[in-house]
Structure 1
């Protein structure tokens, strides 16, 4: 099975390269990085309260590129981590095609008068699967 792990990493690598490039920003500003459960987690600060005005004004709390998860804070990552890990799996499945598929799904929702983020197939799947994981682990 190690070959499957390597294949997934290679397939997601072009997207992960973008994540690594973007990760240089929080890391240059004193952020932290750790490899956990098949993804590089990069956080800007430990807690939301310690984030600067710019970080608090971002339209997202976390974002994924390939196998790189970028989160504003460690506490945010703890909260949104299961959702973001579903996106890592999606990148491993779709590879570089994920960008196009995600965009087209959002465009389709927009053309139907719905939120391109909230109703995006990949976001719906991430919310559902992360909720299932949370419940299975004993969460509410």
Structure 2
């Protein structure tokens, strides 16, 4: 029951991700499900990711709820731990992430940092990439 609630909490953003995944698939991209997360690579969304966004430039992948959109299968494989951290953030914050993520970027910039690199959500995701020291 709790798992269903977590998926529902992130559902509004996941629906946007599903739309992007359908666009990817219809434009030559691939879809796969890994550990309860829909992953898509290639197609038109990959070109958008390569073109980039303000403050971050081009990115290898982006998470929209329980959907990860990437430029390629290799990018999905390389960013899986990082993007799964973002999935957990969407599970925790739900649709509020749509507001909290850019606010965290603005706060990072106001503190003299970079809106993407120093964003608390990105720092948490980067920490998930590195296994803990033994």
Same fold (TM over 0.5): yes
Q: Give 1:111's aligned residue.
A: 110
Q: Which residue of 1 aligns with 2:55?
A: none
2:47·2:71 contact (CA, 8 Å) conserved in 1?
no
DSSP-derived class of the 2:116 partner: coil
Tell me how far apart the structure 2 counterparts of residues 72 and 89 of structure 1 sit (CA, whole Å).
Answer: 21
8 A contact 2:108–2:114 mirrored in 1: yes
1:53-110, Cα deviation, whole Å (9 max, x unpaired) = 7664441110000000000100111001110011001000100011111111101011
CA RMSD, 1 decimal: 2.0
Task: Kindly name which structure, 1 or 2, has the bigger radius of gyration based on alpha carbons.
Answer: 1
Alpha-carbon distance between aligned partners in 2 of 1:14 and 1:75, rounded to the nearest angstrom = 28
Q: Distance in 1 between matches of 2:48 and 2:4?
A: 36
2:78 matches 1:79: yes
Hey, what does 1:28 align to over in structure 2?
Answer: 26
Residue ranges of structure 1 left out of the alignment (5+ in a row): 46-51
Distance 1:56 1:101, change over 3 A: closer
Q: 5+ residue gaps in structure 2?
A: 53-57
CA contact (8 A) 2:60 2:71 kept: yes
Instruction: Tell me the equivalent position of 1:96.
Output: 95
Tell me the distance in 2 between the aligned counterparts of 1:99 and 1:53: 22
What's the TM-score, normalizing by structure 1?
Answer: 0.82
Q: Please tell me whether the aligned partners of residues 49 and 59 of structure 2 are also in contact (alpha carbons under 8 angstroms).
A: no
The SS at the match of 2:42 is strand
